[in-house]
Structures are given as C-alpha cells and as structure tokens.
Amino acid sequence: MFDKVIDTFIASIMTVFFVLVFVTISYLIFGLTDSPRESDLRDPAILFGVIAAIISGFVVIVWAIPIHAILSRHNKNHVGWYIALAMIPSFGLAAIFTSSSHPLLGVTEALFHAVFIGVPASIVFWYFAAYDNVIADDRSERSAT
C-alpha cells in the first residue's frame, strides 16, 4: 500500500518536472523562428515553463491522482486509459488559455496543445505510477496459462 503512495508521489513530481522541461524546451525550439536573438527567448521560455509546471501540479493534484486511484481500484492500468482521461483537463485548460478571435481556430489550437502536452505528460505519469502494475499483470497472466 505504502509503495503505491510513493509511486504516485514520484509520478506526480516527475510529471510536473517533465512539463516544466518540455514546455521550456519547446518554447525555445519553436520560438527561434520568431525572435532574432536567443537571449530574447530565455526568460519567456523559463516563465512559460514555470507557469505550465504550476498548472500541471494543480491538474495532477485535482485530476490525475484521483483518476489514478479509481483506475487502480478497477485494475485499469494500461496507458490508453491514462491518455484518454488526460485529454479532458488538457483540452479544457488549453481551451481556457487559448485566446483566438476565430472559434474554430481556438478549438483546433486547444486540441493541439492538449495532444502536444497532455499525452506525453500522461504517459510520464502512467510510467511512474502504473507501469509496474502492467508488468505484474502480464507476468501473472503468463504464469496462469
């Protein structure tokens, strides 16, 4: 029991750290075409990374940990469950923070951000929180046959 709490805590920390690094590096890579000097990109990249990490920490506490508890209780440990359920807050938050005067463009942009950040973050959370359960389930199925 205590091992699962530790795994969930580690998964939460690693997910927030992953979002921080992923958003910062993504902003630096994709922002190079917008800015002529690299020094213009460092400060906003770190700022956006920290803001994304704070939002990610909130989403992990409010959404990911309770969903992980429900999925674990029902023995749904495969990555597809985590990706599908991560799309809900990812798309919702992206839709809130995406500002666009054209509604269809805003929805498309929100979907892109949800897939671009939500899917990798959910895979990181799943790997640290539930991957061991998947391996254990596969071993028990093999030994039962």
pLDDT, position 123: 94
User: What residues of the chain score a pLDDT lower than 50?
Assistant: none
Alpha-carbon span 104 to 29, nearest angstrom = 26
Q: What residue spans of the chain are helical by DSSP H?
A: 2-31, 39-59, 65-73, 79-97, 103-113, 119-129, 131-144
Q: At 100, is the secondary structure helix, strand, or coil? A: coil
Instruction: Say if pTM beats, i.e. exceeds, 0.85.
Output: no
The total number of structural domains in the chain stands at 1
pLDDT, position 140: 63
Alpha-carbon span 130 to 76, nearest angstrom = 9
Residues spanned by the domain of 96: 2-144
pLDDT, position 49: 87
pLDDT, position 142: 64
pLDDT, position 132: 78
